[in-house]
Amino acid sequence: MIRGVRGATTVQENDELEILENTKELIEEMINRNNIDAESISHVFISVTNDLNAAFPAKSLRQIPGFVYVPVMCMKEIDVPGSLARCIRVMMVTNTTIHQQNVQHVFHHEAKQLRPDLEQRRKRPF
């Protein structure tokens, strides 16, 4: 079954190293929590808010062993007034046997406020 795994994180500054480190940390947790291997991934979309342009966050995926050939695309997030600043969002599309309600979406730093319902669910044991 094809499933989407969501993730989001924020950075404090428009800084290349921080963007790459926070994105890598987020993606690694998405992979680990959902037992994803590179061969099962169809593609990954990464969006950033307008205030981030110091790096392509997709570059961080290339630092993960086995992920060199995973198709990744970066894009700008819709600039909605009052939305969360310095935010990086990830949509990973993967083939998995995990039921939709058991997919572990991951939110780090200030991005936890985007989906508090999923953050609460994540803290419960399965």
Closest CA to 29 of 43, 8, 45: 8
Task: Tell whether residue 122 is among the known ligand binding residues.
Answer: no
DSSP string, 65-80: TT-TTS-EEEEEPP--
- The sheet that has 41-48: what strands, in order across it? 72-76, 41-48, 87-95, 2-10, 106-107
**What are residue 119's phi and psi, to 5 degrees?**
-65, -40
Task: Tell whether residue 124 is among the known ligand binding residues.
Answer: no
Point out the annotated binding site: 6, 89
Point out the annotated binding site for prephenate: 6, 89
